[in-house]
Amino acid sequence: MLFYQFSGYLLPIVIAIDVLLILMLVYAMGSGRKFFLRLVSISAILIFIILGVFKWGFSRPSPIPSSPVEVNLENPFEEQKSVYLLDGNGDVFWKDHVPARAATIHTLESEGPQMDTLQIATYFGGEWYISHVDLSPLETKKVVLKEEHFEKMDVSTAVGSYYWTVLFWNYLSYALTMVFLLVLLLMFWRGKI
């Protein structure tokens, strides 16, 4: 499943565009001049496609890195581990699952004021642990998800904030995308396109 994770400042813009596109389709289903209504519906569909490509670009931690740094997360355990990637300010910007006895590789942006240090948070025995990764040398970083490579630190506030901004509002954006597609199907069914 494609899972995009917009940060907090982009979410209101994306949700507003989603709502605008739905309203454009609903308006295009009304009565009036056929040419104008078709122009509105075709515009909504084209903007929807452009927004879809934009959302696809955010389905990875860093879609277009200018100075890429690879971080290899290795899980030696028999069960998958959830990891949270935090920037230099301690804000969660990505959540991932590392499969059991496997590794995942993330290509991250190393430029910018918050990305000189990456923090990786995970859960061991009911406690939060964090590991700091220096991104300044442009080489592949390897992080083994074992307790001895991490220090105990409470990041529950950052993770809670992540769940509110990323999961709740992004799922609202997913729902609005589905509403758009349902309205589009209704338009085809009623012969309005």
Query: pTM value?
Result: 0.64
> Residue 193 — pLDDT band, cuts 50, 70, 90?
low
**Integer Cα distance of 107 and 109 in angstroms:** 7
Residue 134's pLDDT is what? 81
> Residue 173 — pLDDT band, cuts 50, 70, 90?
confident
Position 100, amino acid: A
Count Cα atoms within 13 angstroms, Cβ side, for 13: 8
Q: Helix (H, G, I), strand (E, B), or coil: what is residue 120?
A: strand
Residue 152's pLDDT is what? 92
> Residue 30 — pLDDT band, cuts 50, 70, 90?
confident
Residue 63's pLDDT is what? 39
Task: Compute the average pLDDT of residues 35-57.
Answer: 86
**Integer Cα distance of 185 and 191 in angstroms:** 10
Is the predicted pLDDT of residue 65 greater than 60, yes or no? no
Residue 157's pLDDT is what? 86
Q: How many CB atoms lie within 10 A of CB 142?
A: 14
Position 18, amino acid: D
Q: Which residue has the higher pLDDT, 57 or 125?
A: 125
Most confident range (mean pLDDT) of 52-61, 71-80, 89-98 is 71-80
> Residue 43 — pLDDT band, cuts 50, 70, 90?
very high
User: What stretch of H or E contains 102?
Assistant: strand 102-109
* 3-class SS shares of the chain: helix, strand, coil, % to 5: 40, 25, 30
Task: Compute the average pLDDT of residues 61-71.
Answer: 58
> Residue 1 — pLDDT band, cuts 50, 70, 90?
very low
Packing angle between helix 169-190 and helix 34-57, nearest 10 degrees?
A: 150
Tokens of 181: 């597609």
Tokens of 175: 């729902």
Mean pLDDT value across the chain: 81
Task: Compute the average pLDDT of residues 22-43.
Answer: 87
Is the predicted pLDDT of residue 8 greater than 70, yes or no? no
Residue 172's pLDDT is what? 85
Q: Which residue has the higher pLDDT, 130 or 170?
A: 130
How much of the chain, in percent, has pLDDT values that exceed 70?
84
